[in-house]
């Protein structure tokens, strides 16, 4: 009996020690019970009847590893921000790929400079599990294509004085209170004003261990509200806080005034909250925000706009019943964030989603089971095709699909019942 008691004591001591050592950062705040609602019925009405995404996949440039985003240069060249820490170049004619520029950390969120066709802006962040030179820092950078040289634009941001955990948007006339600076912890996505002078970029969370990939799992489980949006003014050389306390703020897309003289609002994705919001940064509604799409069938990641104004979104991973249950019953989250990421159940399904220029009407939803491409992070319009960025370390090649016909699925025989999306999500 003494041996049993002694063994049990050792076992319990080890459990307590593991619980302490595996504790997440103190900044990781667990949300209370959160009830995710059903997928909006409007999305069922624009849901592709078949797996158009998987059926249309075309893969070139087999040497290209998994990548977060791409931009198309005027000469047809494609640049991709790859998970191996390089920006790759893909010849649009031959489909051949090669490493192009070795940049700090892992590049993400590429955008062309509107005022200089030789410059591409991008974020650099830590990819969980990778090792980098000590001198390399998280930040917003510029790549000059002709010389392959990289320049740091923002490495440090103001340290805000926050007295509330409520989501907040700051207009130009009512800036956030700040005191000193701190290192940018996580730069994920960006967009640039049409005059090239203002760059908006997202910081999904900013505490020890902030990283892409597996490093973001705990934040996703906790459903923390630590996301920030920043704006760098090139002409003034300043960076200011635009928004804070959002859920994993990720994709960024500027909405300008009709005369393109200023940004009125910014579309952002709250990836882990399955939501898209509009943040008003100027005009009569400056300093406010509104939820445009809630309870999406998957995690919205990057945002892009085509020449017709249609906004395309990659839904990285689809929701599951387990996800919905966990957020409604958060008592288990303290245990889950201490477990190895490899133990976490993970779906393979992904999706392509589009809505109109005002972000008010759904136009298309194509679900895919992940057999041809996984983790669609951004959907990039490229003529009559869509390039699908795949944030998957096992992905090889540049993936594209034909641009789907918009609006043919509404009404009549193409009306889908309200349970269609849920059946796809759970692979039933």
CATH code of residue 67: 2.120.10.30
In a domain? residue 175: yes
Q: Given pLDDT bands bounded at 50, 70 and 90, which one contains residue 373?
A: very high
The pLDDT of residue 415: 36
In a domain? residue 144: yes
In this model, does residue 422 exceed pLDDT 50? no
The pLDDT of residue 420: 44
Q: Tokens standing for 406? A: 């918009």
The pLDDT of residue 414: 34
In a domain? residue 141: yes
In a domain? residue 237: yes
DSSP secondary structure string, 109-131? EEEE-TT-TTEEEEEEEPBTT--
Strand stretches in 234-384, DSSP E: 238-246, 249-256, 263-270, 275-280, 289-293, 298-305, 311-318, 350-355, 362-368, 376-382
Asked whether 285 and 258 are in contact (CB, 8 A), the reply is no
Q: Which residue has the tokens 């839904």?
A: 315
Q: Residue 315 belongs to what domain range? A: 27-425
d(CA 210, CA 289): 26
Answer with the residue of higher pLDDT: 268 or 172.
268
Q: Given pLDDT bands bounded at 50, 70 and 90, which one contains residue 161?
A: confident
Cα–Cα separations (whole angstroms), residue 194 to 156, 284, 302: 24, 21, 19
Q: What is the mean pLDDT of residues 262-291?
A: 96
The pLDDT of residue 27: 74
Q: Given pLDDT bands bounded at 50, 70 and 90, which one contains residue 424?
A: very low
Quote the mean pLDDT of the chain: 88
Q: Which residue has the tokens 């893969």?
A: 59
The pLDDT of residue 396: 93
pLDDT digits (tens, 9 = 90+) for 57-113: 999 999 999 999 999 999 999 999 999 999 999 998 899 999 999 999 999 999 999
Q: Given pLDDT bands bounded at 50, 70 and 90, which one contains residue 7?
A: low
In this model, does residue 413 exceed pLDDT 50? no
The pLDDT of residue 28: 78
In a domain? residue 150: yes
The pLDDT of residue 336: 80
In this model, does residue 419 exceed pLDDT 60? no
Q: Given pLDDT bands bounded at 50, 70 and 90, which one contains residue 339?
A: confident
Q: Which residue has the tokens 């959160």?
A: 34
In a domain? residue 286: yes
Q: Tokens standing for 122? A: 């991008």
Which of 263, 385, 246, 243 is closest to 312 using CA atoms?
385
Answer with the residue of higher pLDDT: 410 or 393.
393
In this model, does residue 269 exceed pLDDT 90? yes
Signed CA dihedral, 24, 26, 272, 333: sign only: positive
Asked whether 24 and 337 are in contact (CB, 8 A), the reply is yes
In this model, does residue 14 exceed pLDDT 60? no
Question: Residue 354 CB: number of other CB atoms within 10 A?
Answer: 23
In this model, does residue 416 exceed pLDDT 50? no
d(CA 375, CA 392): 6
- What's this model's pTM, rounded to 2 decimal places? 0.92
In this model, does residue 5 exceed pLDDT 70? no
d(CA 191, CA 112): 9
In a domain? residue 21: no
Q: What is the mean pLDDT of residues 161-165?
A: 80
Taking 3-state DSSP, the helix, strand and coil percentages for the chain, each rounded to the nearest 5, stand at: 15, 40, 45
Q: Could you tell me how many helices (H) and strands (E) the chain has, helices first?
A: 7, 27
In the chain, the number of structural domains is 1
pLDDT digits (tens, 9 = 90+) for 220-247: 889 989 999 999 999 999 999 999 999 9
The pLDDT of residue 11: 60
Q: Tokens standing for 297? A: 């069938």
In a domain? residue 13: no
- Sort residue 336 into left (φ over 0), alpha (ψ -120 to 50) or beta: alpha
């Amino acid at each position: 009996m003494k041996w049993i008691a002694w063994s049990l004591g050792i076992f319990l001591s080890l459990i307590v020690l593991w619980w302490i050592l595996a504790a997440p950062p103190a900044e990781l705040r667990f949300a209370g019970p959160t009830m995710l609602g059903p997928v909006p019925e409007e999305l069922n009405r624009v849901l592709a009847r078949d797996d158009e995404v998987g059926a249309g996949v075309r893969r070139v440039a087999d040497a290209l590893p998994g990548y977060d985003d791409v931009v198309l240069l005027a000469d047809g060249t494609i640049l991709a921000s790859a998970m191996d820490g390089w920006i790759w170049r893909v010849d649009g004619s031959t489909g051949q790929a090669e490493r192009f520029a070795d940049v700090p950390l892992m590049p993400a969120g590429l955008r062309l400079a509107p005022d200089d066709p030789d410059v591409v802006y991008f974020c650099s962040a830590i990819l969980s599990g990778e090792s980098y030179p000590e001198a390399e820092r998280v930040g917003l950078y510029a790549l000059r294509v002709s010389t392959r040289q990289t320049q740091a634009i923002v490495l440090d941001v103001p340290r805000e004085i926050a007295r509330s955990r409520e989501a907040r948007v700051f207009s130009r006339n009512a800036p956030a209170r700040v005191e000193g600076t701190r290192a940018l912890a996580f730069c994920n996505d960006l967009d640039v004003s049409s005059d090239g002078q203002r760059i908006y970029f997202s910081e999904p969370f900013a505490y020890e261990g902030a990283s892409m990939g597996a490093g973001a799992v705990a934040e996703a489980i906790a459903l923390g509200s630590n996301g920030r949006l920043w704006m760098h003014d090139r002409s003034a050389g300043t960076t200011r806080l635009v928004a804070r306390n959002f859920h994993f703020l990720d994709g960024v897309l500027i909405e300008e005034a009709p005369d393109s003289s200023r940004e009125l609002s910014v579309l952002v994705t709250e990836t882990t909250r399955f939501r898209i919001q509009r943040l008003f940064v100027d005009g009569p509604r400056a300093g406010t925000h509104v939820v445009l799409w809630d309870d999406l069938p998957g995690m919205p990641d990057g945002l892009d706009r085509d020449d017709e104004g249609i906004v395309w979104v990659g839904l990285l991973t689809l929701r599951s019943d387990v996800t919905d249950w966990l957020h409604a019953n958060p008592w288990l989250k303290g245990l889950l964030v201490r477990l190895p990421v490899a133990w976490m159940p993970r779906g393979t399904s992904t999706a392509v989603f589009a809505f109109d220029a005002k972000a008010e009407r759904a136009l298309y939803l194509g679900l895919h089971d992940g057999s041809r491409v996984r983790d669609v992070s951004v959907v990039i319009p490229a003529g009559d095709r869509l390039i699908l960025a795949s944030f998957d370390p096992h992905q090889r090649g540049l993936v594209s699909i034909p641009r789907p016909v918009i609006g043919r699925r509404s009404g009549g025989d193409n009306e889908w019942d309200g349970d269609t999306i849920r059946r796809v999500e759970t692979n039933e």
